[in-house]
Amino acid sequence: MSDATHTSEEITLARLSSGVSISTTVHVYRGDAADDHPTLYVQAAQHGREINGTEVLRRFHDRLPLESLTGTVIAVPVANPITFDHVSYTAPAVLDSVNPNMNRVWPGDASGSLHERMAARLWTYIARADAVVDLHTGSPDMLPHVVFREGDERSRELAEAFGTDLLLSEAADEDASDEWHNRGFSGKLRVAAARNETPTITPEISHSRQILEGPVEEGVDGLLDLLRHLDMLPGTVPDRTQTLARNHLGRVTATESGLFRPAPSLAVGERVSEGVEIGTVYDPTTYEPLHEAVTSHEGLLYALSQEATVTAGDELAGVALIRET
Ligand SMILES: [Zn+2]
């Protein structure tokens, strides 16, 4: 007879100037022998428009066979209520002008800016976890994939167990590029947790703002397989054929501002060679082509922007450098 339990509690993440509390709900699933088995922490929607992860956790709640669970699962479906309510990626400057992007501040600071305080409160759960999953979604027209720290074998095993067709390894800290540091990526939850010796993955389960049936189901199945991998649920993780590639190196960015028309012949999921035309940025008033964007590496085209209005520096496409299939 299992004595597994599900409890939930509302916690305060931070206070607004008015005194209003920002709170969210933390779900705790305690299985048998919880103290002798791992704790998995999973959160969604720290970027509040990325709501597929929230839907994944709702379905996970219904499908988790609690009577078969060993160990503990801690789930936070809305890690950032501020950006969730704004259906946004970052918080309005009036609320956090120092750190508008919550995923640049981990492990947070209990006496810092709004996002730093919110992260520090959630970090009290993350610091106790043996594995961490930070659910995100990417831009429109992007292959679902899982990101993990390059060279971190335990995180790679989590990524493989989660089960998307594409896995992306990302160099971090001293192995990373100047751009990686300049963009504040060392403050990502995944990076901070891995630095804390906790294996961590970031699934990017398709794109923002919409609940997409296929990717959401893939996310629920991924979490259940992850629990099997951690021996927290019975059963084995199926063998899969996955493509392992490297993140970021093959990004194509706009060199000019204007309207971007992606090349109509291209589709995400295609293998591309170096120098392939991915689209044109043009001046919307004069029609003059300003930037003929081409790939800088060969690899797998896993993202191609469909958002036409671009500013110089925006990412137009992602090409993953394939390491293994
Ligand atoms: Zn995100």
pLDDT by residue (tens digit) across 144-161? 999 999 999 999 999 999
Q: How close is the Cα of 238 to the center of ligand 1, in Å? A: 28
Number of other residues whose CB lies within 10 A of the CB of residue 5: 12
**pTM value?**
0.94
Q: What is the largest CA-CA distance in the chain?
A: 73
Query: What is the C-alpha separation between 16 and 3, in angstroms, rounded?
Result: 39
Q: Over the stretch 223-233, which tens digit does the pLDDT of each residue have?
A: 999 999 999 99
Q: How close is the Cα of 203 to the center of ligand 1, in Å? A: 9
Q: How close is the Cα of 186 to the center of ligand 1, in Å? A: 15
Q: Over the stretch 157-177, which tens digit does the pLDDT of each residue have?
A: 999 999 999 999 998 888 888
Decide if pLDDT at 248 tops 80. no
Please give all residues whose CB falls under 5 A of ion ligand 1, grouped by chain where several chains appear: 47, 50, 136
Q: Over the stretch 252-309, which tens digit does the pLDDT of each residue have?
A: 999 999 999 999 999 999 999 999 999 999 999 999 999 999 999 999 999 999 889 9
Predicted local distance difference test score (pLDDT) of residue 111: 97
Mean pLDDT of 73-87: 98
Q: How close is the Cα of 2 to the center of ligand 1, in Å? A: 36
Decide if pLDDT at 109 tops 70. yes
Decide if pLDDT at 1 tops 70. no
Q: How close is the Cα of 67 to the center of ligand 1, in Å? A: 32
Local structure of 243: helix, strand or coil: strand
Q: How close is the Cα of 135 to the center of ligand 1, in Å? A: 8
Predicted local distance difference test score (pLDDT) of residue 325: 63
Q: How close is the Cα of 239 to the center of ligand 1, in Å? A: 28
List the alpha helices (DSSP H) in the chain: 52-63, 81-86, 114-126, 153-162, 178-182, 189-195, 213-229
Q: What angle do CA 36, 225, 39 make, to 5 degrees?
A: 25
Decide if pLDDT at 210 tops 80. yes
Mean pLDDT of 91-99: 95
Q: How close is the Cα of 112 to the center of ligand 1, in Å? A: 22
Q: How close is the Cα of 46 to the center of ligand 1, in Å? A: 7
Q: How close is the Cα of 159 to the center of ligand 1, in Å? A: 17
Q: How close is the Cα of 291 to the center of ligand 1, in Å? A: 27
The separation between the first and the last C-alpha atoms of the chain, rounded to the nearest angstrom, is 43
Q: How close is the Cα of 220 to the center of ligand 1, in Å? A: 18
> Over the range 215-240, which residues count as b (16 or more CB within 10 Å of their CB) and which as e?
bbebbbbbbbbbbebbebbeeebeee
Predicted local distance difference test score (pLDDT) of residue 38: 96
When mean pLDDT is compared across 80-84, 123-127, 291-295, 317-321, the lowest value belongs to 317-321
Local structure of 217: helix, strand or coil: helix
Q: How close is the Cα of 137 to the center of ligand 1, in Å? A: 6
Q: How close is the Cα of 268 to the center of ligand 1, in Å? A: 19
Q: How close is the Cα of 47 to the center of ligand 1, in Å? A: 5
Q: Over the stretch 191-207, which tens digit does the pLDDT of each residue have?
A: 999 999 999 999 999 88
Predicted local distance difference test score (pLDDT) of residue 155: 97
Mean pLDDT of the chain: 94
Query: What is the C-alpha separation between 229 and 186, in angstroms, rounded?
Result: 27
Q: How confident is the model at residue 115 (pLDDT cuts 50, 70, 90)?
A: very high
Higher pLDDT residue, 142 or 105? 105
Q: How close is the Cα of 246 to the center of ligand 1, in Å? A: 18
Q: How close is the Cα of 5 to the center of ligand 1, in Å? A: 30
